[in-house]
Amino acid sequence: MARVAGVDLPKNKRIDVALRYLYGIGKETSEEVLAKLNNQIPAATRVKDLTESQVSLLNTILAKEYKVEGELRRELASNLQRLQEIGSYRGFRYRRNLPVRGQRTRTNARTRRGRRKTIGAGKAEAKPAAPKA
């Protein structure tokens, strides 16, 4: 298995698909990385067929020109932390785990808000019947 940016790539996948297993790399970026290597690694190459020099080439180009994995995760977390610390509206919505980008919450926010919580309307204990006089 080839280890790129701290992640073991699946060995039976093509390299253009396997690069997408890295956080922060999608289809376009994967193709862009392989194009920057000037066809030293063809896109149809399987990960198990890569040489050590090819793996090191991939590691160097990703380290120099792209933010992937831990570095990107840290940057995104610090951006959210900054929004929360300055007290912005977006930061407040992130802190409360509510939709951030203007979606409605009266209905249809279940993914962010979680399961419904019933409020005790029908859950009150039954009162004993008053004795007849």
Count of positions (residues) in the chain? 133
The pLDDT tens digits of the residues spanning 63-117 come to 999 998 889 999 999 999 999 999 999 999 989 888 988 888 888 888 888 888 8
Instruction: Provide mean pLDDT across the span 58-65.
Output: 90
Which backbone phi and psi does 79 adopt, to 5 degrees?
-65, -45
Q: What is the pLDDT of residue 42?
A: 87
Q: What is the tens place of the pLDDT at every residue in 118-129?
A: 887 666 565 666
Maximum CA pair distance of the chain? 98
For residue range 24-55, what is the model confidence (pLDDT) as tens digits?
999 999 999 999 888 788 888 898 988 898 89
Pair 79, 69: CB distance under 8 Å: no
The 10 Å CB-count burial string (b at 16+, else e) for 115-127 is eeeeeeeeeeeee
pLDDT at residue 133 is higher than 60 = yes
